[in-house]
Amino acid sequence: MKKNYTLNPKPYNLVIGWLYPELMSTYGDRGNITVLQKRCEWRGIKVEILNIDQTTTNGDLRTVNLLFGGGAQDREQEIVMRNLQDKKEAIVELIEKDIPALFVCGAPQLMGKFYEPAEGKRIQGLGIFDMESRHPGPNAPRLIGNVIAKISEESIKYNVSSITYEKEEKILNTEYLILNTIVVGFENHGGRTYLGKDAKPFAKVLKGYGNNGEDGTEGVVYKNAIGCYLHGPLLPKNPQIADYLIAKALEVKYKKEIILEPLDDSIEEKAKSAIAERLGIAL
Ligand code: GLN
Protein backbone atom coordinates (compact mmCIF):
# COMPACT_ATOMS: atom_id res chain seq x y z
CA MET A 1 0.00 0.00 0.00
CA LYS A 2 1.40 3.42 -0.92
CA LYS A 3 1.82 5.97 1.82
CA ASN A 4 2.17 9.69 1.27
CA TYR A 5 5.17 10.64 3.32
CA THR A 6 7.82 13.07 2.27
CA LEU A 7 11.49 12.63 2.70
CA ASN A 8 12.44 14.67 5.73
CA PRO A 9 14.67 16.10 7.12
CA LYS A 10 17.05 16.94 4.31
CA PRO A 11 19.73 16.77 3.07
CA TYR A 12 20.30 13.15 2.22
CA ASN A 13 23.10 12.15 -0.08
CA LEU A 14 24.04 9.08 -2.06
CA VAL A 15 27.05 7.84 -3.96
CA ILE A 16 26.02 6.00 -7.11
CA GLY A 17 28.74 3.71 -8.44
CA TRP A 18 28.74 3.18 -12.21
CA LEU A 19 30.69 0.17 -13.43
CA TYR A 20 33.01 0.91 -16.35
CA PRO A 21 30.99 3.66 -18.11
CA GLU A 22 33.36 3.63 -21.09
CA LEU A 23 33.13 -0.10 -21.66
CA MET A 24 29.66 -1.01 -20.40
CA SER A 25 26.85 1.09 -21.77
CA THR A 26 25.00 -0.50 -24.65
CA TYR A 27 21.53 0.41 -25.97
CA GLY A 28 21.16 3.56 -23.90
CA ASP A 29 22.04 2.05 -20.52
CA ARG A 30 23.66 5.30 -19.40
CA GLY A 31 20.10 6.72 -19.30
CA ASN A 32 19.61 4.74 -16.10
CA ILE A 33 22.22 6.86 -14.37
CA THR A 34 20.52 10.07 -15.54
CA VAL A 35 17.19 8.85 -14.18
CA LEU A 36 18.62 7.91 -10.79
CA GLN A 37 20.44 11.22 -10.57
CA LYS A 38 17.45 13.34 -11.59
CA ARG A 39 14.90 11.55 -9.42
CA CYS A 40 17.19 12.10 -6.45
CA GLU A 41 17.86 15.75 -7.28
CA TRP A 42 14.15 16.51 -7.76
CA ARG A 43 13.66 15.38 -4.18
CA GLY A 44 16.61 17.28 -2.78
CA ILE A 45 18.81 14.18 -2.41
CA LYS A 46 22.41 15.01 -3.28
CA VAL A 47 24.08 12.57 -5.65
CA GLU A 48 27.68 11.86 -6.46
CA ILE A 49 28.39 9.60 -9.43
CA LEU A 50 31.48 7.47 -8.95
CA ASN A 51 32.74 6.18 -12.29
CA ILE A 52 34.28 2.80 -11.51
CA ASP A 53 37.17 1.81 -13.75
CA GLN A 54 40.76 0.59 -13.65
CA THR A 55 41.76 3.47 -11.38
CA THR A 56 39.14 2.88 -8.69
CA THR A 57 40.34 1.50 -5.38
CA ASN A 58 38.43 -0.85 -3.10
CA GLY A 59 38.33 2.01 -0.61
CA ASP A 60 36.46 4.17 -3.15
CA LEU A 61 34.13 1.27 -3.90
CA ARG A 62 33.17 0.86 -0.26
CA THR A 63 31.64 4.39 -0.30
CA VAL A 64 29.02 3.30 -2.85
CA ASN A 65 25.35 3.36 -1.76
CA LEU A 66 23.84 2.20 -5.06
CA LEU A 67 25.59 0.27 -7.80
CA PHE A 68 24.82 0.21 -11.51
CA GLY A 69 26.34 -1.79 -14.37
CA GLY A 70 25.17 -1.76 -18.00
CA GLY A 71 25.57 -4.00 -20.99
CA ALA A 72 28.69 -4.73 -22.99
CA GLN A 73 29.73 -6.84 -25.90
CA ASP A 74 31.77 -9.99 -25.35
CA ARG A 75 35.11 -8.30 -26.04
CA GLU A 76 34.51 -5.50 -23.55
CA GLN A 77 33.17 -7.96 -20.98
CA GLU A 78 36.45 -9.81 -21.07
CA ILE A 79 38.46 -6.64 -20.48
CA VAL A 80 36.17 -5.59 -17.65
CA MET A 81 36.28 -8.98 -16.01
CA ARG A 82 40.07 -9.05 -15.94
CA ASN A 83 39.96 -5.82 -13.95
CA LEU A 84 36.89 -6.67 -11.89
CA GLN A 85 38.58 -9.64 -10.20
CA ASP A 86 40.65 -7.16 -8.12
CA LYS A 87 37.42 -5.53 -6.99
CA LYS A 88 35.59 -8.77 -6.22
CA GLU A 89 35.93 -8.54 -2.45
CA ALA A 90 34.59 -4.99 -2.24
CA ILE A 91 31.68 -5.63 -4.63
CA VAL A 92 30.62 -8.83 -2.87
CA GLU A 93 30.82 -6.94 0.42
CA LEU A 94 28.51 -4.19 -0.89
CA ILE A 95 25.89 -6.66 -2.07
CA GLU A 96 26.10 -8.70 1.16
CA LYS A 97 25.53 -5.46 3.09
CA ASP A 98 22.21 -4.99 1.25
CA ILE A 99 23.45 -2.19 -1.01
CA PRO A 100 20.94 -2.08 -3.88
CA ALA A 101 22.24 -2.69 -7.38
CA LEU A 102 20.96 -2.84 -10.93
CA PHE A 103 22.92 -4.87 -13.46
CA VAL A 104 21.80 -4.98 -17.10
CA CYS A 105 22.61 -7.68 -19.67
CA GLY A 106 26.41 -7.96 -19.86
CA ALA A 107 26.79 -6.84 -16.24
CA PRO A 108 24.72 -9.60 -14.59
CA GLN A 109 26.41 -12.16 -16.82
CA LEU A 110 29.63 -11.10 -15.08
CA MET A 111 28.00 -11.18 -11.65
CA GLY A 112 26.93 -14.80 -12.15
CA LYS A 113 29.15 -17.88 -11.97
CA PHE A 114 30.51 -17.55 -15.50
CA TYR A 115 29.85 -16.33 -19.00
CA GLU A 116 30.87 -18.33 -22.05
CA PRO A 117 31.24 -15.90 -24.97
CA ALA A 118 30.42 -16.72 -28.58
CA GLU A 119 34.11 -17.30 -29.20
CA GLY A 120 37.02 -17.66 -26.83
CA LYS A 121 37.41 -18.80 -23.29
CA ARG A 122 34.93 -18.93 -20.45
CA ILE A 123 34.96 -15.75 -18.35
CA GLN A 124 34.72 -16.42 -14.62
CA GLY A 125 32.13 -14.21 -12.93
CA LEU A 126 32.01 -12.82 -9.40
CA GLY A 127 29.53 -15.50 -8.31
CA ILE A 128 27.07 -13.10 -6.70
CA PHE A 129 24.13 -14.55 -8.61
CA ASP A 130 23.62 -18.31 -8.69
CA MET A 131 23.44 -18.53 -12.48
CA GLU A 132 25.42 -19.41 -15.58
CA SER A 133 25.38 -17.71 -18.97
CA ARG A 134 26.43 -19.19 -22.27
CA HIS A 135 26.51 -17.89 -25.80
CA PRO A 136 25.78 -20.88 -28.07
CA GLY A 137 28.17 -19.59 -30.77
CA PRO A 138 28.62 -16.96 -33.47
CA ASN A 139 25.85 -18.41 -35.65
CA ALA A 140 23.22 -18.65 -32.92
CA PRO A 141 20.36 -16.17 -33.28
CA ARG A 142 20.46 -13.21 -30.92
CA LEU A 143 17.48 -12.69 -28.65
CA ILE A 144 16.28 -9.26 -29.73
CA GLY A 145 13.13 -7.24 -29.20
CA ASN A 146 10.87 -5.49 -26.75
CA VAL A 147 10.10 -7.36 -23.55
CA ILE A 148 7.22 -7.16 -21.11
CA ALA A 149 7.60 -8.93 -17.81
CA LYS A 150 5.88 -8.99 -14.46
CA ILE A 151 8.01 -8.67 -11.36
CA SER A 152 7.91 -11.97 -9.52
CA GLU A 153 6.14 -11.46 -6.25
CA GLU A 154 8.05 -14.29 -4.63
CA SER A 155 11.39 -12.69 -5.53
CA ILE A 156 10.61 -9.32 -4.09
CA LYS A 157 8.27 -10.20 -1.26
CA TYR A 158 10.72 -12.42 0.52
CA ASN A 159 13.59 -10.17 -0.24
CA VAL A 160 12.91 -7.72 2.58
CA SER A 161 16.02 -6.06 3.78
CA SER A 162 17.60 -7.41 6.94
CA ILE A 163 18.59 -3.97 8.21
CA THR A 164 16.75 -2.48 11.15
CA TYR A 165 15.76 0.95 12.37
CA GLU A 166 18.25 2.64 14.64
CA LYS A 167 16.08 2.10 17.68
CA GLU A 168 13.23 -0.20 16.75
CA GLU A 169 13.69 -3.81 15.75
CA LYS A 170 11.58 -3.58 12.65
CA ILE A 171 12.10 -4.87 9.16
CA LEU A 172 12.07 -2.14 6.56
CA ASN A 173 9.99 -2.63 3.51
CA THR A 174 10.07 -0.57 0.36
CA GLU A 175 8.95 -3.51 -1.71
CA TYR A 176 5.49 -2.03 -2.17
CA LEU A 177 7.07 0.25 -4.78
CA ILE A 178 7.47 -2.56 -7.28
CA LEU A 179 5.30 -5.44 -6.12
CA ASN A 180 3.25 -6.78 -9.02
CA THR A 181 4.71 -4.16 -11.34
CA ILE A 182 4.87 -4.78 -15.06
CA VAL A 183 8.20 -3.74 -16.58
CA VAL A 184 9.02 -3.06 -20.19
CA GLY A 185 12.44 -3.12 -21.78
CA PHE A 186 14.43 -3.92 -24.87
CA GLU A 187 16.65 -6.98 -25.04
CA ASN A 188 19.52 -7.77 -27.37
CA HIS A 189 21.74 -10.61 -26.24
CA GLY A 190 23.42 -13.68 -27.60
CA GLY A 191 24.10 -15.17 -24.18
CA ARG A 192 21.50 -17.39 -22.54
CA THR A 193 21.26 -17.33 -18.77
CA TYR A 194 20.17 -20.31 -16.66
CA LEU A 195 19.35 -19.79 -13.00
CA GLY A 196 20.64 -22.16 -10.33
CA LYS A 197 18.12 -23.87 -8.08
CA ASP A 198 18.47 -21.29 -5.30
CA ALA A 199 18.30 -18.25 -7.57
CA LYS A 200 15.14 -16.20 -7.75
CA PRO A 201 14.08 -14.67 -11.07
CA PHE A 202 13.45 -10.94 -11.14
CA ALA A 203 10.38 -11.20 -13.34
CA LYS A 204 8.20 -13.54 -15.36
CA VAL A 205 8.25 -12.96 -19.13
CA LEU A 206 4.90 -12.02 -20.70
CA LYS A 207 6.33 -11.13 -24.13
CA GLY A 208 9.89 -11.55 -25.31
CA TYR A 209 12.71 -13.99 -24.56
CA GLY A 210 14.06 -13.11 -21.13
CA ASN A 211 16.95 -15.11 -19.66
CA ASN A 212 17.07 -17.82 -22.30
CA GLY A 213 13.88 -17.89 -24.40
CA GLU A 214 12.91 -21.22 -22.82
CA ASP A 215 11.86 -21.06 -19.19
CA GLY A 216 9.94 -17.75 -18.96
CA THR A 217 12.30 -16.22 -16.41
CA GLU A 218 13.65 -12.71 -16.74
CA GLY A 219 16.63 -11.66 -14.67
CA VAL A 220 17.60 -12.56 -11.16
CA VAL A 221 17.43 -11.12 -7.67
CA TYR A 222 19.85 -11.60 -4.80
CA LYS A 223 19.40 -9.52 -1.66
CA ASN A 224 18.81 -6.00 -3.05
CA ALA A 225 20.68 -6.62 -6.29
CA ILE A 226 18.67 -6.97 -9.48
CA GLY A 227 20.09 -8.45 -12.66
CA CYS A 228 18.07 -8.28 -15.88
CA TYR A 229 18.29 -8.27 -19.67
CA LEU A 230 16.28 -5.06 -19.98
CA HIS A 231 17.94 -2.23 -21.86
CA GLY A 232 16.10 0.60 -23.46
CA PRO A 233 17.20 2.04 -21.02
CA LEU A 234 15.14 0.43 -18.29
CA LEU A 235 14.58 3.14 -15.69
CA PRO A 236 13.05 5.97 -17.78
CA LYS A 237 10.19 3.65 -18.77
CA ASN A 238 9.99 1.98 -15.36
CA PRO A 239 10.49 4.75 -12.79
CA GLN A 240 9.15 2.58 -9.96
CA ILE A 241 12.31 0.53 -10.16
CA ALA A 242 14.42 3.67 -9.94
CA ASP A 243 12.52 4.72 -6.82
CA TYR A 244 12.85 1.26 -5.33
CA LEU A 245 16.62 1.42 -5.74
CA ILE A 246 16.83 4.97 -4.36
CA ALA A 247 14.61 4.18 -1.36
CA LYS A 248 16.60 1.03 -0.61
CA ALA A 249 19.88 2.90 -0.86
CA LEU A 250 18.65 5.53 1.60
CA GLU A 251 17.22 2.91 3.95
CA VAL A 252 20.48 1.03 4.08
CA LYS A 253 22.54 4.19 4.54
CA TYR A 254 20.35 6.00 7.05
CA LYS A 255 18.81 2.91 8.69
CA LYS A 256 15.30 4.29 8.72
CA GLU A 257 12.14 3.87 6.76
CA ILE A 258 12.16 5.98 3.60
CA ILE A 259 9.02 6.95 1.77
CA LEU A 260 9.85 8.98 -1.31
CA GLU A 261 7.90 12.01 -2.42
CA PRO A 262 5.83 11.01 -5.45
CA LEU A 263 6.83 12.58 -8.78
CA ASP A 264 4.74 13.21 -11.86
CA ASP A 265 5.39 10.09 -13.94
CA SER A 266 2.66 10.61 -16.52
CA ILE A 267 5.10 10.84 -19.46
CA GLU A 268 7.02 7.78 -18.28
CA GLU A 269 3.77 5.85 -17.94
CA LYS A 270 2.76 6.84 -21.48
CA ALA A 271 6.08 5.56 -22.81
CA LYS A 272 5.53 2.28 -21.01
CA SER A 273 1.94 1.89 -22.22
CA ALA A 274 3.00 2.62 -25.80
CA ILE A 275 5.40 -0.34 -25.74
CA ALA A 276 2.88 -2.55 -23.95
CA GLU A 277 0.16 -1.72 -26.48
CA ARG A 278 2.51 -2.48 -29.34
CA LEU A 279 3.00 -5.91 -27.86
CA GLY A 280 -0.70 -6.42 -27.28
CA ILE A 281 -0.66 -6.18 -23.47
CA ALA A 282 -3.03 -3.84 -21.68
CA LEU A 283 -1.49 -2.30 -18.55
N1 GLN B 1 27.73 -9.97 -24.64
C2 GLN B 1 26.49 -10.31 -24.12
C3 GLN B 1 25.57 -11.10 -25.01
O4 GLN B 1 25.51 -10.90 -26.22
C5 GLN B 1 25.83 -9.07 -23.55
C6 GLN B 1 25.21 -8.15 -24.57
C7 GLN B 1 24.70 -6.88 -23.98
O8 GLN B 1 25.07 -6.49 -22.86
N9 GLN B 1 23.84 -6.19 -24.66
O10 GLN B 1 24.89 -11.93 -24.46
Cα–Cα distance between 90 and 283 in angstroms, integer? 40
Model confidence pLDDT, tens digit, residues 67-97: 999 999 999 999 999 999 999 999 999 999 9
Strand order in the sheet with 123-124: 123-124, 114-116, 131-134, 192-195
Cα–Cα distance between 57 and 112 in angstroms, integer? 22
| Protein residue whose Cα sits closest to atom 9 of ligand 1 | 71
Contacts of 162 (CB under 8 A, 6+ apart): 98, 171
Which residues have any ligand 1 atom within 6 Å of their CB? 26, 71-74, 77, 105-106, 135, 188-191
Distance 192 CA to ligand 1 centre (A): 9
Structural domains present in the chain: 13-278 (3.40.50.880)
pLDDT of 270 over the 60 cut: yes
**Residue in 105, 115, 230 to alter for ligand 1 test, most ligand atoms within 8 A of Cβ:** 105
Distance 75 CA to ligand 1 centre (A): 10
116: left (phi over 0), alpha (psi -120 to 50) or beta: beta
Q: What is the crossing angle of helices 239-254 and 30-41, to 10°?
A: 60
Cα–Cα distance between 139 and 241 in angstroms, integer? 35
Cα–Cα distance between 153 and 155 in angstroms, integer? 5
Model confidence pLDDT, tens digit, residues 46-65: 999 999 999 999 999 999 99
Specify the amino acid at residue 7: L
Q: How far is CA 7 from CA 166, 261, 266, in A?
A: 17, 6, 21
Model confidence pLDDT, tens digit, residues 206-221: 999 999 999 999 999 9
Q: What is the mean pLDDT of the chain?
A: 90
Distance 142 CA to ligand 1 centre (A): 9
**Residue in 23, 68, 77 to alter for ligand 1 test, most ligand atoms within 8 A of Cβ:** 77
Q: What is the pLDDT of residue 176?
A: 72
Model confidence pLDDT, tens digit, residues 149-179: 999 877 776 554 544 444 444 445 677 778 7
Number of Cα atoms under 13 Å in the Cβ half of residue 89: 5
Catalytic residue among 40, 105, 135, 228: 105
Q: What is the pLDDT of residue 61?
A: 98
Q: Which residues of 26-43 are buried (b: 16+ CB within 10 A; e: fewer)?
A: bbbbebbbebbbebbeeb
Per the confidence metrics, is the pTM higher than 0.85?
yes
| Protein residue whose Cα sits closest to atom 8 of ligand 1 | 71
| Protein residue whose Cα sits closest to atom 5 of ligand 1 | 106
Residue 135 a catalytic site member: no
Of 177, 187, 184, give the one whose Cα is nearest residue 105. Answer: 187
Residues linked to residue 104 through DSSP beta bridges, in sequence order: 228
Cα–Cα distance between 235 and 193 in angstroms, integer? 22
Q: What is the pLDDT of residue 167?
A: 44
Cα–Cα distance between 27 and 188 in angstroms, integer? 9
Model confidence pLDDT, tens digit, residues 92-111: 999 999 999 999 999 999 99
Of 160, 201, 197, give the one whose Cα is nearest residue 183. Answer: 201
The distance in angstroms from the start CA to the end CA of the chain is 19
Distance 60 CA to ligand 1 centre (A): 27
Model confidence pLDDT, tens digit, residues 103-134: 999 999 999 999 999 999 999 999 999 999 99
